[in-house]
């Protein structure tokens, strides 16, 4: 049994075309699966957020997850920058209050140190006077 060159060429082209079609179809199915998977994730995130919101427990993190799962990246970024801004402001206020507390503590410590030095000087003077009395 002899196979002609044209039959071999036809079989090779058909095989390559079949392989390409199989791979293309598999890739398309995979893309469809990813789209379906992302839709399921979006629906789940929405359900979780709505369910928690119905009990009054919806957190910003759940809302961010919902937006991220549903592809609303711009809203997530805007919310993050807003919350980062608020955190920065709170950090600045905390820093100012700590600096004020340190300044007050330093002033109190300095006043205590001066009072201690004055008391030590008074004790030294009293001791000196007592020693002078004893020597008389």
With respect to residue 20, please indicate whether it lies within any of the assigned structural domains: yes
Answer yes or no: is 26 within a domain: yes
pLDDT tens digits, one per residue of 86-127: 877 888 888 888 888 888 888 888 888 888 888 888 888 888
pLDDT at residue number 79: 67
Q: Answer yes or no: is 28 within a domain.
A: yes
DSSP symbol at 4: -
Question: Residue 76's closest CA among 85, 67, 86?
Answer: 67
Which range of residues forms the domain containing residue 20? 1-71
Tell me, what's the pLDDT at 101? Answer: 81
Query: Is 94 inside a domain boundary?
Result: no
The token duo for 125 is: 């003077």
This model's pTM is above 0.85: no
Count the domains in the chain. Answer: 1
Mean pLDDT (whole number) for 32-45: 78
CB 43 within 8 A of CB 53: no
Three-state secondary structure string covering 8-62: HHHHHHHHHHHHHHHHHHHHHHHHHHHHHHHHHHHHHHHHHHHHHHHCCCCCHHH
Confidence of residue 14 (pLDDT cuts 50, 70, 90): very high
């Amino acid at each position: 049994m002899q196979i002609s060159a044209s039959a071999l060429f036809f079989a090779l082209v058909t095989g390559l075309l079949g392989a390409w079609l199989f791979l293309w179809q598999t890739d398309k199915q995979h893309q469809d699966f990813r789209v379906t998977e992302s839709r399921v994730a979006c629906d789940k995130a929405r359900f979780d957020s709505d369910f928690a919101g119905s009990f009054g427990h919806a957190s910003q993190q759940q809302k961010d997850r919902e937006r991220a799962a549903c592809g609303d990246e711009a809203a997530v970024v805007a919310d993050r920058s807003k919350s980062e801004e608020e955190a920065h402001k709170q950090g600045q206020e905390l820093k100012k209050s700590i600096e004020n507390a340190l300044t007050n503590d330093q002033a109190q410590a300095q006043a205590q140190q001066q009072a201690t030095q004055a008391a030590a000087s008074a004790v030294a003077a009293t001791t000196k006077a007592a020693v002078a009395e004893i020597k008389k």
